[in-house]
Amino acid sequence: MKIPCSFCFTASVKKRTNQEMPEGDNDGSFRVYSYSELKSATRGFHPSEKVGEGGFGSVYKGRLRDGSLVAVKVLSVEVESMRGEREFVAELATLANIKHQNLVILRGCCVEGSQRYLIYDYMDNNSLHHTFLGSEHNRMRFSWEARRDISIGVARVLAFLHEELKPHIVHRDIKGSNILLDRNFTPKVSDFGLARILRDEKSYISTRVAGTLGYLAPEYANSGQVTRKSDVYSFGVLLLEIVSGKTVVDAFQDTERFIVEKAWAAYEANDLMRLVDPVLNMNFPEEEAKRFLMVGLRCVQETSKLRPRMSEVVEMLTNNIEMEDNVHISKPGFVNDLRNIRVKQKISSSLGESSSSGATFTSSMFSTNLAR
């Protein structure tokens, strides 16, 4: 199935995108927007309309002529590395033809000079990172039931991408800022600029390791090998965040900087419940909270083959399958030393394995460019 806006980028890019297109249904709502439409909708991309900014561009709130609200992502193409074009194509190839209640809806695209625009449904409650982890006051808005529903919703869409969709899709950047929330706080996974399509059971080897500090699976950071278990690791970290209300990396502490370290310390001390967000004020089912934390720890185990598949995660979170009380959980892995990765990236570049500028890790509190 071809992308609806196949004429809006170069022939070489079009060919690559059509070859990688996953099977899915398109309801015909995808369209190509004119630049003038988007400029008018965002009041000339006025700074007051900016609602977000990530590694791949800025996002603006807009109101179309029919009165509907949209989010407009602006991607600038860097000619030398083609960054921006890659993310544009990846997003189109992933979202233009598949639908899921927990996927953000891609309405269309636009090309204007070196700018690429992606148009989505507007999400009233921004991202999970912005709305949930912004402050203690924000977290008080999220009851245990809301946290449970968000966790299960994200797990279900990852199970869909990993196991139901053909070919499989690995997101590669699951984190709080890429989980958007609609007016009913329904989670919508977004930002597929790093996504990779996996055919059969094969893995993908990336010479441009990219992701977010704290969410990055150790085997991916060490070898560049991308599998569905890479997303499982990132989801496990996100789940620990949702239950605990703690940020993935605490840049202001000298010890136990990573949430997986804190969770493992609590598990070893047989005191997992100390990790549950205190703003819940004990208004949660203890057994369910413990089960969610155990699932999170199973997802972040250092050995990828020990991590569950996302369909199993859904079953455990919804309590459709029993979790054994005596199940052995191995120590989690995490990336805590970026210097080795930087060295590997330089070696790969010198051998001509990658034309990219290197790997970039970002978080709301910490940003390190590994291409120096």
The catalytic site residues sit at 173
Omega into 285 within 30° of 0, i.e. cis? no
Q: Which residues pair with 197 in a beta bridge?
A: 169
d(CA 71, CA 56): 14
Q: Is 344 among the annotated ligand-binding positions?
A: no
What number of residues does the chain have? 372
Widest Cα–Cα separation across the chain? 61
Angstrom distance (rounded) from CA 148 to CA 156: 12
Nearest to residue 243, comparing CAs of 152, 122, 342?
A: 152
Q: What Å distances lie between residue 91 and 21, 96, 257, CA to CA?
A: 11, 8, 32
Alpha helices by DSSP H, listed for the chain, are: 11-20, 35-41, 85-95, 128-132, 136-139, 144-159, 218-223, 228-244, 259-268, 286-299, 310-317, 339-350
Reduced to 3 states (helix: H, G, I; strand: E, B; else coil), residue 158 is helix
Q: What pairing do the DSSP bridges indicate for beta strands 31-32 and 106-112?
A: parallel
Measured distance CA(194)–CA(171) in Å, rounded: 7
Task: Could you list the residues known to form a binding site for ATP, using ranges.
Answer: 73
Task: Could you list the residues known to form a binding site, using ranges.
Answer: 73
